[in-house]
Amino acid sequence: MTARDFPNWEALYQEKPVETMPWFNPSLDADVEHALLTLDLSTGEALDLGTGPGTQAMALAERGFRVTATDLSATAIRQAAAKATEQGLSISFRQDDILNSHLDQSFDLILDRGCFHVLPPDSRSIYVQTVANLLKPKRYLLLKCFSQQETREAGPYRFTPEEIQQIFSERFQLRSVEQTVYQGTLDPLPKAVFCILEKQ
Ligand SMILES: C[S@@+](CC[C@H](N)C(=O)[O-])C[C@H]1O[C@@H](n2cnc3c(N)ncnc32)[C@H](O)[C@@H]1O
């Protein structure tokens, strides 16, 4: 597997408006919305992991979740927190590296829309253990990442459903995986997989 290049996340959020970023999606990701309906989830403690612009965290808070939102970039967190305050939303925003996390809460729901697929392949097992430890038993990780079907050269790592199954199998049951798109500012939208993973 070829190693992929990623920006310095903190510098990126200092330099560019979030609305120009490929992953910027002002409303709740359509696949997340559908999963919440399917799983009948509308309340509880939710973590938006790698929140970036914070749009998904804000949408979850609007729907009734008590939301914690984390990102590696302190600037992303500061900007997203200011927007949430403007909108009258109460969200706990924290700078946190999921590969060296200081979170000590446990969650009913974790959303990862685009963080896992930018992590180095050799850190995936740390990610799986950390995320599983942050979830209550039998609760869900909603994961969106680029699909192996995406043909653009640049961008994050890509995954097949079989790879997701294998990477997460020690701690999660793969409840569903769908081929979909990653809503944002790119045209055409990148091909993505959306996975519902249940903690064992
Ligand atoms: C593709 S963006 C997605 C942002 C957001 N989830 C969304 O859907 O708009 C990936 C995000 O993951 C964050 N990130 C990268 N590595 C991380 C890490 N180790 N821990 C936490 N966040 C990380 C980046 O700063 C960036 O905001």
Q: List pLDDT tens digits, range 61-100.
A: 999 999 999 999 999 999 999 999 999 999 999 999 999 9
Q: Which of 135, 134, 116 has the alpha carbon at shortest distance from 125?
A: 116
The amino acid occupying position 94 is R
Q: Which of 196, 187, 191 has the alpha carbon at shortest distance from 159?
A: 191
Cis peptide before 188 (omega within 30 of 0): yes
Give tens-digit pLDDT for 90-129.
Answer: 999 999 999 999 999 999 999 999 999 999 999 999 999 9
The atom of ligand 1 lying closest to the CA of 144 is 8
In a domain, 172, yes or no: yes
Structure tokens at 148: 């192996």
φ, ψ of residue 172 to 5 degrees: the values are -130, 155
200 CA distance to ligand 1 centroid (A)?
A: 25
Please give the model's pTM, rounded to 2 decimal places: 0.97
In a domain, 142, yes or no: yes
Q: Which of 23, 28, 30, 34 has the alpha carbon at shortest distance from 62?
A: 28
Find out whether the beta carbon of 53 lies less than 6 Å from any atom of ligand 1.
yes
In a domain, 155, yes or no: yes
Please, which residues have CB within 8 angstroms of residue 122's CB and are 6 or more apart in sequence? none
Structure tokens at 89: 């939303």
User: What CATH number is given to the structural domain containing 168?
Assistant: 3.40.50.150
139 CA distance to ligand 1 centroid (A)?
A: 22
In a domain, 175, yes or no: yes
Pocket test for ligand 1, best of 72, 143, 189 (most atoms within 8 A of CB): 72
Q: Residue 54: give the domain boundaries.
A: 42-179
Residue minimizing CA distance to atom 26 of ligand 1: 52
The amino acid occupying position 47 is L
